Amino acid sequence: MRSQVIWGIVLTAIGAAIALIAVLGIPFLLIYSIPLIVIGLALIIWRGREEVLEAIKE
């Protein structure tokens, strides 16, 4: 697996765990969980784009 995918999975899992804790009783933690989930999903969705851009430049 590529490092972007691994980091995306890790960040999404951490964000989901924090969101679960936020739902169970500490709602201000949603401030931290939502960006972690968004960044993790973005890393997974846009993996490998730098190789496509590099190929176009050559």
Question: Is residue 58 pLDDT above 80, yes or no?
Answer: no
Tokens describing residue 6: 């691994």
Judge whether 22 and 28 are in contact, CB under 8 Å.
yes
**What range defines the domain where residue 25 resides?**
3-57
Query: In total, how many domains does the chain have?
Result: 1
Tokens describing residue 47: 């993996």
Say what the pLDDT of residue 34 is. 92
Say what the pLDDT of residue 57 is. 59
pLDDT tens, 10-50? 999 999 999 999 999 888 888 999 999 999 999 888 877 66
pTM of the predicted model over 0.95: no
Instruction: Round to whole Å and give the CA distance between 49 and 31.
Output: 28
